[in-house]
């Protein structure tokens, strides 16, 4: 009885302390204190974008070093790895976004956040032009500002290869709005198939979902669609669920080329069990309103009727990036994106740093790379600010030195000592090049299974299955930028476990 009493009290105290801690942290985060104002003596650092690279930079940056201005058409950060979960209603869209101001308002010096799209970067005059592209506009909706340093992190856009009909008829899986649109259109297909009198052929067309691209986005989305079908649609649409088909089309001989062979095989066999058809060596040539046109492995052309096409066929550079590169034709020739040196400096430009998917480096265009580059750049910018301060002080001392030739011996010695000290500190300043540390590749493949290629003792550890899925969940939960997002995502997972996904169409 004594033991039970002690256990009960300990549990109660633990729960109360955790709840108190949780309440304290959330309230502290909700009420940021006053910030230092902009300082006319500091340099202006303009950050373009609020994605993985830019957000990681802002989280690490010491804002006392600069006057920081962030410009992005989205006033939030989107946690892309969980986007396919939003497309099938496992997660609420708001659970995986974080307003940029929630980060910048906690910085020591104020940061100006502007919701606008950069339309031009002038690397010669060091200016950025941007405009308000939102529905509501004020008197001013376009302007130009100058920068001393520019961090260019605008990411990439969907690659359509100019294939006819893709823009008009396919859903993408890149932005939050894409996932919301896909969810609406998917449920529209199902409800339309349930319309009385629909003939069998039309029902089969409406219930055929085609995912284009066997990269991680296409695979994860197909897995999520399968879960939605098994866990929920079978209960609410028993007469239709058995007729829903998911087909994944991939131009290359295999899906997931970045994963090890054994995990590719595991994914293919899991998809087979889940009745997701994989068509490899098959290329989409056109997307029509009610069908896709495929070039089969034997080069024959086949038209496949379908209700929904999701386009996950990779990315390309934005127009803004292409325009910027065109202004530096001698140094920027890579068609994949901006060429940078080992310190993320854009080649041929002064004061521009580029990070993430807009760059052409030896690394894959992933969130892992972009966020490490952002954090690295924040440290480099801090080092540069400190170097600037030392150089400024050295110039002051040298000017003073010229003026105090008539000063006392002691004054002259003090001046000389400080000058020498700063000169030697400046000599020691050495910027370290960016070094990427690969933490492994993870992907969800549906049916409560995930795959993981993890670096292990100079080799690779490949694992797939339910345990890896639990690891996948905990890895992404801990990677989310805030306690708020972690709580929202965990609550959504619990809600879906208890009540299932919502099949209403907004
Ligand atoms: P982004 O994160 O795309 O950010 C670009 C920012 O620039 C955005 O805020 C955008 O609004 C802004 N912007 C756009 N145009 C302008 C403009 N004209 N002016 C100013 N700002 C502009 N990677 C992984 O490592 N692991 C994963 O599990 C993973 N899952 C993914 C799942 C999906 C569905 C997708 C689509 C991608 C996934 N990725 C994953 C890849 C990862 O999201 C990208 O590599 C990463 O977002 C790149 O970061 P970034 O900062 O370069 O660009
Ligand atoms: P991707 O570029 O990795 O894959 C696109 C696939 O589409 C390619 O395999 C390509 O062969 C195929 N394709 C292109 N055109 C086609 C056509 N006309 N017909 C049929 N197939 C066609 O793109 P994805 O999956 O969007 O990933 C983009 C980046 O984001 C990658 O670097 C990826 O590693 C990263 N990412 C990582 C994730 C993870 O680690 N879990 C999840 C999602 C994305």
Residue 506's pLDDT band (boundaries 50, 70, 90)? confident
Residue 29's pLDDT band (boundaries 50, 70, 90)? confident
Ligand nearest to the CA of 294: 2
What pLDDT, on the 0 to 100 scale, is given for residue 452? 97
Considering only residues 314 and 415, tell me which one the structure prediction assigns the higher pLDDT. Answer: 314
Q: In what order do the strands lie in the sheet with 43-48?
A: 111-115, 66-72, 43-48, 149-152, 352-354
Does 308 score more than 90 pLDDT? yes
Q: Say how many Å lie between the CA of residue 314 and the centre of ligand 2.
A: 4
Mean pLDDT, range 92-101, rounded to an integer? 97
Mean pLDDT, range 300-317, rounded to an integer? 98
Pocket test for ligand 1, best of 367, 444, 452, 480 (most atoms within 8 A of CB): 367
3-state secondary structure labels for all residues of 56-123: HHHHHCCCCCEEEEEEECCCEEECHHHHHHHHCCCCCHHHHEEEHHHHHCCCCECEEEEECEEEEEEC
Among candidate residues 270, 266, 156, the one with its CA nearest the CA of residue 222: 270
Angle between helices 52-60 and 367-403 (to 10 degrees): 40
What pLDDT, on the 0 to 100 scale, is given for residue 400? 80
Ligand nearest to the CA of 253: 2
Among candidate residues 134, 162, 178, 108, the one with its CA nearest the CA of residue 382: 108
User: Who contacts 374 (Cβ-Cβ below 8 Å, separation ≥6)?
Assistant: 52, 53, 54, 55, 56, 57, 58, 59, 60, 153, 355, 356
Q: Is 465 helix (H, G, I), strand (E, B) or coil?
A: strand
Cβ burial 2-32 (10 Å sphere, 16+ → b, else e): eeeeeeeeeeeeeeeeeeeeeeeeeeeeeee
Mean pLDDT, range 409-428, rounded to an integer? 88
Neighbours of 251 (CB within 10 A): 16
Q: Say how many Å lie between the CA of residue 217 and the centre of ligand 2.
A: 6
Cβ 105 vs Cβ 32: under 8 Å: yes
Q: Which two tokens stand for residue 193?
A: 């198939």
Q: Say how many Å lie between the CA of residue 265 and the centre of ligand 1.
A: 28
Cβ 153 vs Cβ 370: under 8 Å: yes
What pLDDT, on the 0 to 100 scale, is given for residue 404? 60
Q: How far apart are the first and last CA of the chain?
A: 55
Closest Cα to atom 37, ligand 1: which residue?
Answer: 80
Q: What are phi and psi of 11, to 5 degrees?
A: -65, -45
Residue 75's pLDDT band (boundaries 50, 70, 90)? very high
Mean pLDDT, range 372-384, rounded to an integer? 97
Give the pTM: 0.95
Q: Say how many Å lie between the CA of residue 226 and the centre of ligand 1.
A: 25
Ligand nearest to the CA of 280: 2
Q: Ligand 2 in contact with 252 (CB < 6 A)?
A: yes
Q: Say how many Å lie between the CA of residue 466 and the centre of ligand 1.
A: 28
Mean pLDDT, range 1-26, rounded to an integer? 90
Residue 58's pLDDT band (boundaries 50, 70, 90)? very high
User: Who contacts 403 (Cβ-Cβ below 8 Å, separation ≥6)?
Assistant: none
The Cα 287–Cα 183 span in angstroms is 19
- What average pLDDT is seen over the chain? 95
What pLDDT, on the 0 to 100 scale, is given for residue 458? 83
Q: Ligand 2 in contact with 308 (CB < 6 A)?
A: no
Does 405 score more than 70 pLDDT? no
Mean pLDDT, range 487-503, rounded to an integer? 97
Q: Which atom of ligand 2 is nearest to the CA of 249?
A: 20
Does 478 score more than 70 pLDDT? yes
Residue 295's pLDDT band (boundaries 50, 70, 90)? very high
Q: Say how many Å lie between the CA of residue 172 and the centre of ligand 1.
A: 14
Taking only the tens place, the pLDDT of each residue in 428-450 is 888 999 999 999 999 999 999 99
What pLDDT, on the 0 to 100 scale, is given for residue 331? 97
Q: Say how many Å lie between the CA of residue 297 and the centre of ligand 1.
A: 32
Does 402 score more than 80 pLDDT? no
Q: Say how many Å lie between the CA of residue 269 and the centre of ligand 2.
A: 20
The Cα 419–Cα 105 span in angstroms is 38
Calculated CA dihedral for residues 138, 144, 146, 147, nearest 10 degrees: 80
Q: Say how many Å lie between the CA of residue 50 and the centre of ligand 1.
A: 9
Q: How many angstroms from the chain centroid is the CA of residue 126?
A: 27
ipTM reported for the complex, 2 dp = 0.98
Mean pLDDT, range 19-30, rounded to an integer? 89
The Cα 292–Cα 73 span in angstroms is 32
The Cα 222–Cα 216 span in angstroms is 10
Cβ burial 163-190 (10 Å sphere, 16+ → b, else e): bebbeebbbbbbebebbeebbebbbebb
Pocket test for ligand 1, best of 71, 81, 480 (most atoms within 8 A of CB): 81
Q: Which two tokens stand for residue 203?
A: 């029902």
Taking only the tens place, the pLDDT of each residue in 99-149 is 999 999 999 999 999 999 999 999 999 999 999 999 999 999 999 999 999
Does 459 score more than 90 pLDDT? no
Q: Ligand 2 in contact with 284 (CB < 6 A)?
A: yes
What pLDDT, on the 0 to 100 scale, is given for residue 416? 87
Q: Ligand 2 in contact with 131 (CB < 6 A)?
A: no
Residue 403's pLDDT band (boundaries 50, 70, 90)? low
* Residues within 6 Å of ligand 1 by CB: 48-54, 71-74, 80-81, 83-84, 117-118, 153-155, 173-174, 217, 318, 320, 356-358, 365-368, 370
Q: Which atom of ligand 2 is nearest to the CA of 258?
A: 34
Closest Cα to atom 28, ligand 1: which residue?
Answer: 81
The Cα 153–Cα 51 span in angstroms is 7
What pLDDT, on the 0 to 100 scale, is given for residue 2? 83
């Amino acid at each position: 009885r004594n033991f039970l009493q002690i256990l009960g009290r300990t549990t109660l105290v633990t729960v109360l302390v955790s709840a108190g801690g949780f309440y304290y942290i959330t309230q502290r985060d909700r009420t940021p204190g006053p910030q230092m104002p902009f300082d006319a003596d500091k340099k202006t650092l303009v950050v373009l974008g609020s994605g993985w690279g830019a957000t990681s930079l802002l989280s690490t940056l010491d804002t006392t070093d600069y006057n920081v201005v962030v410009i992005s058409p989205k006033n939030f950060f989107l946690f892309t790895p969980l986007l396919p979960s939003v497309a099938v209603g496992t997660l609420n869209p708001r659970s995986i976004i974080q307003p940029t101001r929630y980060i910048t308002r906690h910085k020591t010096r104020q940061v100006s956040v502007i919701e606008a799209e950069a339309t031009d970067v002038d690397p010669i005059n060091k200016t950025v032009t941007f405009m308000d592209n939102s529905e509501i506009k004020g008197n001013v909706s376009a302007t130009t500002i100058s920068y001393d340093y520019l961090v260019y992190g605008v990411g990439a856009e969907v690659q359509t290869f100019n294939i006819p009909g893709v823009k008009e008829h396919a859903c993408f899986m890149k932005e939050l709005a894409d996932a919301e649109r896909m969810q609406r259109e998917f449920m529209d297909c199902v409800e339309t198939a349930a319309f009385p009198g629909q003939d069998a052929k039309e029902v089969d067309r409406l219930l055929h979902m085609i995912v284009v691209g066997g990269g991680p986005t296409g695979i994860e989305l197909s897995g999520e669609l399968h879960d939605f079908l098994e866990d929920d649609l079978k209960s609410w649409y028993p007469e239709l669920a058995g007729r829903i088909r998911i087909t994944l089309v991939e131009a290359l001989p295999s899906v997931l080329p970045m994963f090890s062979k054994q995990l590719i095989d595991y994914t293919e066999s899991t998809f087979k069990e889940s009745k997701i058809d994989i068509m490899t060596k098959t290329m989409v040539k056109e997307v029509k309103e009610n069908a896709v046109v495929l070039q089969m492995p034997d080069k024959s052309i086949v038209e496949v009727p379908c209700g929904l096409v999701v386009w996950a066929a990779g990315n390309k550079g934005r127009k803004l990036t292409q325009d910027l590169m065109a202004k530096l034709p001698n140094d920027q020739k890579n068609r994949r994106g901006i060429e940078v040196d080992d310190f993320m400096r854009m080649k041929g430009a002064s004061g521009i740093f580029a990070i993430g998917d807009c760059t052409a480096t030896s690394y894959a265009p992933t969130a892992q790379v972009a966020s490490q580059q952002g954090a690295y750049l924040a440290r480099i910018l801090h080092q540069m600010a400190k170097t600037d301060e030392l150089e400024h002080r050295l110039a002051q001392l040298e000017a003073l030195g010229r003026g105090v030739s008539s000063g006392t011996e002691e004054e002259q010695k003090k001046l000389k000592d400080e000058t020498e000290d700063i000169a030697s500190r400046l000599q020691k300043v050495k910027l370290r090049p960016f070094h990427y540390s690969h933490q492994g590749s993870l992907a969800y493949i549906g049916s409560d299974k995930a795959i993981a290629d993890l670096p292990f003792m100079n080799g690779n550890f490949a694992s797939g299955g339910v345990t890896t899925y639990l690891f996948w969940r905990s890895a992404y939960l801990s990677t989310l930028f805030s306690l708020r997002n972690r709580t929202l995502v965990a609550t959504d997972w619990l809600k879906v476990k208890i009540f299932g996904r919502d099949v209403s169409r907004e």
